[in-house]
């Protein structure tokens, strides 16, 4: 099983607080830490832990945070094919409250690789499962060389415009920015999966009625919700790339999301085996 991500990276600064401050309120953080994150990075690490390795095609800011993100992801087992842009690395402030929910503030634009960047694009031909979160239309077309191509619904307008056949679209049913509108993509993806946090989610296979899936039981106490959805997406890409049925791939994805919930930050508790 070979896995890859074409996507984005963010530099994450975490603050643990009792609750997210209301307008005008001051709250004190009792813990603070930093790590590379973002949908592309988290899914790439999840895929590396399931498949043994993964490649992340991305663009990073040519500053201290961008270079730290590259080094941090390399240490986490991801091989980076990246180009550095002459702009600040995109970063986020993430509040983790006492309910273990995350609230995110983003600074900077999402950066993804361009298909014209001098990266090892030819290697995508041998990739079994790939997750796409960011990149230009040519990068998306190059991603289609993989066996199973899963894309986030957050780039839905791009998926509509580029008309690249996608094997599955995944997103959050609770996030308006990750909406999926049936009938707009040509061709339509054969599988659409939408998560609903602790309620599980729903999925539709082309030509069949919508079905609900239950959440997986977390293998421990809830610690930190950041990265659960991206770990879910990485698990889905792995399952479809490994030849699982839709039901099996969604079950694996749900277990990936539940495992992530039990660790501090997105990587501490990610699932390490598909079986």
Dump pLDDT digits (tens) for 105-127: 999 999 999 999 999 999 999 99
User: pLDDT tens digit string along 212-228?
Assistant: 999 999 999 999 999 99
Spatial distance between the Cα atoms of 115 and 123, rounded to a whole number of angstroms: 13
Instruction: Check residue 95 and give its pLDDT.
Output: 96
d(CA 111, CA 209): 36
Note the pLDDT of residue 207: 84
- Predicted pLDDT of residue 36: 98
Strands 54-61 and 3-6: parallel
Domains of the chain, by residue range, sit at 3-21+29-260
First to last CA, the chain: 14
pLDDT score for 206: 84
Q: Return the pLDDT at 146.
A: 97
How much is the pLDDT for 131?
Answer: 98
Q: Which two tokens stand for residue 17?
A: 């607080």
> In CATH, what number does 3-21+29-260 get?
3.40.1190.20
b/e burial code for range 20-57 (CB count within 10 A of at least 16 → b):
eeeeeeeeeeeeeeebbbbbbbbbbbbbbbbbeebbbb
Ranges of the chain whose pLDDT falls below 50: none
d(CA 226, CA 256): 13
The structure's pTM equals: 0.96
Where does residue 136 rank: exposed (0-12), middle (13-18), buried (19+ CB within 10 A)?
Answer: middle
Which pLDDT score, from 0 to 100, does residue 275 have? 79
């Amino acid at each position: 099983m070979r896995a890859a991500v074409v996507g984005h990276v963010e530099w994450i600064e975490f603050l643990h607080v009792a609750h997210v401050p209301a307008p005008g309120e001051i709250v004190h953080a009792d813990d603070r830490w930093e790590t590379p994150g973002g949908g592309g990075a988290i899914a790439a690490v999840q895929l590396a832990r399931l498949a043994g390795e993964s490649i992340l095609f991305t663009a990073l800011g040519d500053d201290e945070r961008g270079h730290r993100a590259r080094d941090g992801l390399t240490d986490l087992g991801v091989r980076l094919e990246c180009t550095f842009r002459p702009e600040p690395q995109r970063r986020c402030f993430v509040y983790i409250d006492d309910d273990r929910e995350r609230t995110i503030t983003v600074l900077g634009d999402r950066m993804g690789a361009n298909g014209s960047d001098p990266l090892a694009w030819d290697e995508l031909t041998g990739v079994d499962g790939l997750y796409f979160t960011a990149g230009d239309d040519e990068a998306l077309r190059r991603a289609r060389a993989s066996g199973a191509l899963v894309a986030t619904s957050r780039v839905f307008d791009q998926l509509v415009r580029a008309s690249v056949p996608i094997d599955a679209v995944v997103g959050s049913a609770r996030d308006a920015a990750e909406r999926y509108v049936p009938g707009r993509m040509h061709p339509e993806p054969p599988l659409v999966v939408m998560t609903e946090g602790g309620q599980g989610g729903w999925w539709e296979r082309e030509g069949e009625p919508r079905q609900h899936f239950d959440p997986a039981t977390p293998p421990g106490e809830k610690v930190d919700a950041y990265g659960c959805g991206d770990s879910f997406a990485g698990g889905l890409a792995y399952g479809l790339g490994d030849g699982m049925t839709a039901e099996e791939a969604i079950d694996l994805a749900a277990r990936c999301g539940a495992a992530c919930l039990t660790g501090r930050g997105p990587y501490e508790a990610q699932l390490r085996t598909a079986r």
